[in-house]
């Protein structure tokens, strides 16, 4: 999305925005929601809000962060509206932590489990950086924190992942 947005009409801006960022947004939404249907609902609301506010987007370079910020706010609104009443919280936590794990290789399954076990504030910053491809400043804008806090969270997330994965590999070592 390199072109200037100033000379485009609303429909052109929106089309470029969707074309450039829909795949990354869907991937992030699916990770965040842990449910395909909920992710699609939140994305639909996000895109509706983006359409309504597209004229406020001035810089193409800020479009991805702008769209992800709208998503995060809409996700928070959806979560507030849908305070689900679960009878078995432990069972739901187990389902949420293992849903979508690609068991095609033991390494990918272990990585996804480890990612699910680190703190959510650290995990989100890491996912935005690695999967979303955002810069530190963009993540700071999306999460509404300082750039140094982003760097700290990403560092701690990586450190926790290393420790978890190292413990798993150490426990598999057998002597005999």
At 40-94, the pLDDT tens digits run 989 999 999 999 999 888 888 889 999 999 999 998 887 666 544 333 333 333 3
- The pLDDT value given to residue 176: 44
Residues carrying CATH 1.10.10.10, the chain: 103-176
Greater confidence (103 vs 134) lies with: 134
Residues 6+ apart with CB under 8 A from 10: 51, 54, 55
pLDDT at 119 over 50: yes
pLDDT at 128 over 70: yes
Q: Which CATH number fits domain 1-84: 1.10.1740.10, 3.40.50.2000, 3.40.190.10, 1.10.150.120?
A: 1.10.1740.10
Greater confidence (87 vs 135) lies with: 135
What is the rounded distance in angstroms from the CA atom of residue 43 to the CA atom of residue 17? Answer: 13
What is the rounded distance in angstroms from the CA atom of residue 123 to the CA atom of residue 161? Answer: 10
Residues carrying CATH 1.10.1740.10, the chain: 1-84
Give me the residue label for tokens 């849908």: 82
* Low-confidence winner among 30-39, 76-85, 128-137, 148-157 (lowest mean pLDDT): 76-85
Fold for the domain defined by 103-176: Arc Repressor Mutant, subunit A (1.10.10)
């Amino acid at each position: 999305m390199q072109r200037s947005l100033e000379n485009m009409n609303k429909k052109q801006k929106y089309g470029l925005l969707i074309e450039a960022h829909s795949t990354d947004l869907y991937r992030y939404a699916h990770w965040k929601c842990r449910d395909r249907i909920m992710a699609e609902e939140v994305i639909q609301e996000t895109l509706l809000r983006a359409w309504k506010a597209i004229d406020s987007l001035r810089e193409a370079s800020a479009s991805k962060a702008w769209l992800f910020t709208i998503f995060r706010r809409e996700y928070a609104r959806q979560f507030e509206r849908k305070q689900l009443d679960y009878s078995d919280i432990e069972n739901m936590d187990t389902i949420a932590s293992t849903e979508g794990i690609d068991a095609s290789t033991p390494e990918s399954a272990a990585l996804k489990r480890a990612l699910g076990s680190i703190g959510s504030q650290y995990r989100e910053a890491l996912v935005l950086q690695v999967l979303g491809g955002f810069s530190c400043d963009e993540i700071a804008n999306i999460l509404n924190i300082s750039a140094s806090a982003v760097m700290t969270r990403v560092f701690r997330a990586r450190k926790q992942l290393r420790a978890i994965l190292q413990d798993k590999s150490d426990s598999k070592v057998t002597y005999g």
